[in-house]
Amino acid sequence: MKVRVDVMLKNGVLDPQGKAIGHALGNLGFAGVGEVRQGKVIELDLAETDAAKATKSARKMAEKLLANLVIEDFKVSVI
Instruction: Check residue 34 and give its pLDDT.
Output: 94
Task: Count CB atoms within 10 A of the CB of residue 57.
Answer: 18
pTM here?
0.89
> At the fourth CATH level, which superfamily is domain 2-78?
Phosphoribosylformylglycinamidine synthase subunit PurS (3.30.1280.10)
Instruction: Check residue 8 and give its pLDDT.
Output: 98
pLDDT digits (tens, 9 = 90+) for 41-75: 999 999 999 999 999 999 999 999 999 999 999 99
Pair 40, 17: CB distance under 8 Å: no
